[in-house]
A and B are shown apart, each in its own frame.
Chain A
């Protein structure tokens, strides 16, 4: 009765030891490093989206101002022609 028990005990200890003792998993610190990296990537993605949105708004604003500038130049020209006609 004692022998088989001893054999089972030793066998179990060896099997468990092979998995727990030689652990193949990242440590807590390594997992933190991974999570920090993920967070940094997410933050950069958000930052890029915000910059792209600002860029689009600026492009629109510039296009609007260009149109207004063109119209202003036309108005100035038309006004000067009319003023010449009045004089």
Chain B
């Protein structure tokens, strides 16, 4: 029994020794002191840095506030110089924007049908440029943007016209039912509402009309945009009448 007690005491002492050795590996007083010294120096540096930054930030905040005030004064002065001119310009720009949005959404066919509106929008833009407030950069940029959009629409329209994609057509009916001849077709209110423009249809369909006096049921004729006769169309008309006079007394096509 005594032997067991002695052994236990020895084991306890050995454990105490081992524990104290382990604790020693964690941190010594010297290491603690070194860390304290290093951290204290670092803390003092950081405190100085922080204080300097705080001062810098406070100065910048003041500068920012001063600039904000100066900007407000300038903008107020600008608004006052514009007087009552700014509001109509904004209204005009909004109207231009709305119309361009509408025209941009149209199909090629519909855009072609409303092509005259592009000229109206161009006039609105030209008018807007006459407003003194348009000298202000933000309005200038907006006007330039609207002009670019309008130019893009004009180009689309030019492409549509060049491709003949939007040119309306008319399908020839029978003489008995519809009395369709080039003269009568041109006279229709939905076509030109002007029979004297018939050479336009003839010249626009040279590929399928060799003799303007002869058109056939079911022919799909392209109807060029309504306009005065061109020089070529007038020449064709003159040649037509010369031939007619040479063959017989004048007759309607």
Q: Which of B27-47 contact A (CB under 8 A)?
A: 27-30, 32, 35-36, 39-40, 42-43, 46-47
- Give the distance in Å from the alpha carbon of A16 to the alpha carbon of B13 in the complex: 7
A55 touches B6 (CB 8 A): no
User: In the bound complex, do residue B24 and residue A24 qualify as a contact, i.e. CB atoms below 8 Å apart?
Assistant: yes
Residues A58 and B60 in contact in the complex (CB < 8 Å), given A34-B39, A78-B135: yes
CB distance from B31 to the nearest CB of A (A): 8
Nearest CB on B from A10, distance (A): 10
Please give, as numbers and ranges, the residues of chain A lying within 8 Å of B71 by CB-CB distance: 65, 68-69, 72
Interface 9-residue window, one of B61-69, B142-150, B187-195, B226-234: B61-69
Distance A23 CA – B16 CA, assembled complex (angstroms): 13
Contact indicator B43/A59 (Cβ below 8 Å): no
Q: Within the complex, what minimum Cβ distance (angstroms) separates B143 from chain A?
A: 13
**CB of A78, distance to nearest CB on chain B (Å):** 4
Q: A12-B13, A71-B137, A75-B137 are in contact. Are A62 and B63 (CB under 8 A)?
A: yes
Residue of A nearest to B46 (CB): A44
Known contacts A26-B29, A73-B74; A78/B136 CB under 8 A:
yes
B132 & A34 in contact (Cβ 8 Å cutoff): no
A79 touches B132 (CB 8 A): yes
A55 CB, nearest partner CB in chain B, Å: 5
Chain A positions within 8 Å of B16 at CB level:
16, 20
Contact at A5–B6, with CB atoms within 8 Å?
yes
Contact B57 A54 (CB under 8 A): yes
Whether, in the assembled complex, A25 has its beta carbon less than 8 Å from a beta carbon of chain B, the answer is yes
Bits for A35-52, please: 1 = Cβ < 8 Å to B, else 0: 001101100110110011
Nearest CB to that of A81 among chain B residues? B135
Docked CA distance A79–B74 (Å): 13
Closest chain-A Cβ to B53's Cβ sits at a distance in Å of 4
Contact B74 A72 (CB under 8 A): yes
A9 to B27, CA, bound (A): 29
**A9 / chain B contacts, CB cutoff of 8 Å:** 6, 9-10, 13
Q: Is the pair A79, B136 in contact by a Cβ cutoff of 8 Å?
A: yes
Contact A25 B56 (CB under 8 A): no
**Residues of chain B contacted by A73 (CB below 8 angstroms):** 74
- In-complex Cβ contact of B39 among A15, A25, A37, A69 (8 A): A37
List the interface of chain B (C-beta within 8 A of A). 6, 9-10, 13-14, 16-17, 20-21, 23-24, 26-30, 32, 35-36, 39-40, 42-43, 46-47, 49-50, 53-54, 56-57, 60-61, 63-64, 67-68, 70-71, 74-75, 77-78, 81-82, 132-137
Task: Give 8 A-B contacts (CB < 8 Å), ordered by A residue.
Answer: A26-B27, A34-B39, A45-B46, A55-B56, A62-B60, A75-B78, A79-B78, A79-B135
